[in-house]
């Protein structure tokens, strides 16, 4: 991301590349509607119930609606300030959002309680992926929920991350800090996009940003969302996100830019925040199970230059994790230390707390560490053997191959390899399927991989990510016909990966044996019937393996395995993602074609 502090003009290009925009979804199309602009104060009384089944408010809370905030270029955006009635000057938690601070489908339809989270544990005043005023205002914090540029009644065109977003959130923080209702200390908190923008805010270095708490927020839009593995996929962005955003001007057309900029260039690198020079204290939350945020939330934590940084890797879903009382209490100790100067011993908290997934078991383990990766590991090599569909710790002497129909959408159209686990062990970190692959048609291949476990009886093992829906999801698992994928948000089986073969060029400085990092700058076509070596990275995990279980690796021309790689939308799941595939793909094993799965295994 480029400098965010000097220029005042809105960004219309990135180093000479014009940014495309498309009309915003009109405000009058939002359901429920976006309320009219009106600067006023609304009082929510102690004891009132503000959503069906919600908790009674423990305090009187007032909301100062539609506070105007002027950015450096003169654009005015609007925010709502939630605070305990009677508080006149407090630290402020900034929630910088594109989901609308009031009204709109995200706030109405995707509440945390939709995941089975207890309704009486939240107030109904919380906004989508945002902290609950009923909790935070009670402890002397105000929450300012701001519609970012181009959202709702906020002026200007909306930009997705990058330099312009960094400038805007920088200006918003400095405006809030200068108001008489703020102590001059501002922090940030929130899930997903509300976490992503925190990385940009920290990189912009506003003087009054005292701490950040990004709760599962990716740091690389190209590699993690719209072109993961070099395979374009605008469905989630266009349908599930932009399809439900509303404004009065224009939205940056990210998928249109992907068509014009299919390779990583200045446009895409501008959206990667410069975290190495960040110094603000950070409380980072991640999970092994998220289909979008896992990889670069963890890499973001590693890249952070902050000396005061903590990481917690949980085993559920971000929405419920954000509102769980013990997690709020934990984060409050962090905020109290850095925004209120309270000597509460926070600096002695374990730097890393992480879940150890025992997929298929009733409970997972939790451990602490001084850093991430959390344990010392050694690379274990499991060599693929197509002659019998196994993986082994010894190379196969003889060459063999397995092929699959690369254009079929049938879940059985895969190459499958199994490893009978001989002893208890633990995978910790990212994995690499280093494969020798060929095609009989075309000059490219879109490849997908999924790793999962089966128990001693051959039954696939699942981890339910939404504890409140455990019974319902277990029933879904039991009733889902064989060969049909389960949804990849609420259910997890193990790590996955994808790669377009022409993007197999490695950044050798950033790659490790178990974590390939592709350049995405120099496409290299393949030749039919000629095997090429491809490093297909699988996202990080911590997975316990038990003696007698079976580890399964599936490779296919579509998102494969028992669980969808990520729910893009009901209309266009990942299994239907358009690919460049033609004909049949072949996995070559044994002899000189030593296809292998490289796994980081925790040392005893």
Sequence-ordered list of residues with C-beta below 8 angstroms from that of 29, at least 6 positions apart, any chain: 246
Kindly give the residue spans of alpha helices, DSSP state H, lying in 28-161: 105-109, 133-136
**What pLDDT score does 5 carry?**
47
Give CA 470 to chain center in angstroms: 22
Reported as a single tens digit per residue, the pLDDT across 12-58 is 676 556 899 999 999 999 999 999 999 999 999 999 999 999 999 99
**What pLDDT score does 585 carry?**
99
Residue 577 banded pLDDT, cuts 50, 70, 90: confident
Tokens of 565: 């790689």
**What pLDDT score does 6 carry?**
53
Rounded Cα gap, residues 276 and 516, in angstroms? 20
Residue 10 banded pLDDT, cuts 50, 70, 90: low
Rounded Cα gap, residues 388 and 398, in angstroms? 12
Rounded Cα gap, residues 123 and 38, in angstroms? 23
Fold of 377-602: Jelly Rolls (2.60.120)
Tokens of 325: 């009382």
**What pLDDT score does 109 carry?**
85
Cβ 214 vs Cβ 549: under 8 Å = no
**What pLDDT score does 79 carry?**
98
Whole-number average pLDDT of the chain = 94
Rounded Cα gap, residues 349 and 370, in angstroms? 10
13-341 has which CATH code?
Answer: 3.40.50.1820
**What pLDDT score does 14 carry?**
64
Rounded Cα gap, residues 24 and 152, in angstroms? 10
Rounded Cα gap, residues 213 and 335, in angstroms? 9
Rounded Cα gap, residues 557 and 509, in angstroms? 29
Neighbours of 376 (CB within 10 A): 10
CA distances from 220 to 5, 19, 25, 197 (A): 22, 18, 25, 12
Reported as a single tens digit per residue, the pLDDT across 74-98 is 999 999 999 999 999 999 999 999 9
Reported as a single tens digit per residue, the pLDDT across 586-600 is 999 999 999 999 999
Asked if the model's pLDDT at residue 483 lies above 70, the reply is: yes
Find the range with the poorest average confidence among 135-139, 370-374, 427-431, 435-439. Answer: 370-374
Rounded Cα gap, residues 559 and 554, in angstroms? 10
Strand residue runs (E) in 336-375: 352-356, 365-369
Reported as a single tens digit per residue, the pLDDT across 280-328 is 999 999 999 999 999 999 999 999 999 999 999 999 999 999 999 999 9
Q: Find the mean pLDDT for residues 344-367.
A: 95
Asked if the model's pLDDT at residue 558 lies above 90, the reply is: yes
Angle of CA points 404, 406, 408, to nearest 5°: 95
Angle of CA points 369, 424, 478, to nearest 5°: 100
Reported as a single tens digit per residue, the pLDDT across 129-179 is 999 999 999 999 999 999 999 999 999 999 999 999 999 999 999 999 999
**What pLDDT score does 311 carry?**
98
CA distances from 250 to 97, 159, 347, 439 (A): 16, 9, 44, 43
Q: Is 22 helix (H, G, I), strand (E, B) or coil?
A: strand
Rounded Cα gap, residues 298 and 289, in angstroms? 12
Rounded Cα gap, residues 402 and 389, in angstroms? 8
Reported as a single tens digit per residue, the pLDDT across 364-382 is 999 999 999 999 999 999 9
Domain ranges of the chain: 13-341, 377-602
**What pLDDT score does 485 carry?**
87
């Amino acid at each position: 991301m480029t400098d965010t502090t000097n220029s005042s003009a809105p960004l219309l290009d990135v180093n000479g590349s014009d940014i495309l925009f498309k009309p915003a979804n009109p405000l009058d199309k939002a359901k429920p509607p976006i309320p009219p602009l009106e600067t006023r104060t609304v009082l929510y009384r102690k004891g009132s119930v503000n959503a069906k089944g919600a908790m009674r408010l423990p305090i009187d809370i007032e909301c100062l609606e539609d506070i105007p905030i002027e950015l450096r270029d003169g654009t005015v955006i609007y925010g709502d300030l939630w605070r305990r009635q009677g508080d006149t000057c407090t630290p402020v938690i900034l929630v910088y959002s594109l989901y609308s601070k009031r009204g709109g489908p995200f706030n109405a339809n995707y509440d945390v309680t939709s995941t089975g989270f207890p309704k009486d544990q939240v107030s109904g005043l919380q906004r989508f992926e945002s902290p609950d005023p009923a909790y935070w205002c009670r402890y002397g914090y105000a929450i300012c929920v701001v519609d970012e540029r181009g959202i709702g009644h906020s002026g200007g065109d909306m930009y997705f991350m990058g330099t312009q977003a960094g400038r805007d959130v920088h200006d918003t923080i400095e405006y809030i800090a200068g108001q008489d209702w703020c102590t001059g200390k501002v922090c940030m908190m929130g899930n997903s996009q509300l976490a992503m923008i925190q990385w940009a805010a920290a990189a912009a270095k506003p003087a009054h940003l005292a701490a950040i708490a990004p709760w599962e927020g990716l740091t690389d839009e190209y590699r993690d969302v719209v072109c993961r593995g070099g395979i374009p996929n605008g469905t989630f962005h266009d349908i599930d996100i932009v399809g439900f955003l509303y404004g009065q001007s224009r939205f940056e057309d990210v998928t249109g830019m992907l068509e014009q900029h299919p390779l990583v260039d200045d446009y895409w690198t501008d959206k990667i925040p410069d975290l190495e020079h960040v110094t603000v204290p950070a409380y980072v939350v991640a999970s092994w199970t998220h289909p979008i945020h896992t990889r670069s939330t963890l890499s973001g934590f590693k890249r952070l230059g902050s000396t005061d940084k903590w990481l917690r890797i949980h085993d559920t879903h971000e929405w419920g994790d954000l509102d769980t009382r013990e997690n709020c209490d934990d984060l409050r100790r962090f905020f109290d230390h850095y925004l209120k100067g309270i000597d509460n011993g926070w600096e002695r908290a374990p730097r890393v707390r992480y879940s150890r997934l025992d997929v298929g078991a009733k409970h997972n383990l939790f451990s602490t560490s001084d850093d991430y990766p959390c344990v010392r590991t050694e690379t274990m090599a499991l060599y693929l053997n197509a002659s019998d569909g196994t993986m082994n710790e010894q190379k196969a002497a003889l060459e063999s191959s397995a092929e699959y129909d690369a254009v079929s959408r049938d879940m059985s159209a895969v190459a499958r390899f199994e490893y009978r686990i001989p002893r208890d062990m633990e995978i910790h970190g990212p994995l690499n399927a280093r494969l020798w692959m060929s095609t009989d048609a075309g000059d490219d291949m879109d490849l997908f991989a999924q790793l999962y476990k089966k128990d001693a009886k051959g039954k696939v093992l699942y981890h339910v990510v939404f504890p409140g829906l455990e019974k319902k999801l277990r029933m879904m698992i039991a009733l889902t016909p064989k060969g049909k994928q389960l949804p990849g948000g609420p259910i997890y089986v193990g790590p996955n990966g994808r790669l377009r073969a022409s993007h197999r060029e490695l950044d050798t400085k950033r790659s490790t044996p178990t974590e390939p990092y592709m350049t995405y700058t120099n496409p290299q076509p393949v030749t039919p019937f000629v095997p090429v070596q491809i490093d297909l990275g699988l996202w990080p995990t911590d997975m316990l393996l038990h003696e007698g279980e079976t580890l399964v690796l599936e490779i296919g021309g579509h998102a494969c395995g028992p669980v969808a790689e990520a729910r893009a939308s009901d209309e266009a799941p990942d299994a239907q993602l358009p690919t460049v595939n033609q004909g049949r793909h072949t996995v070559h094993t044994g002899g000189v074609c030593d296809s292998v799965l490289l796994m980081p295994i925790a040392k005893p």
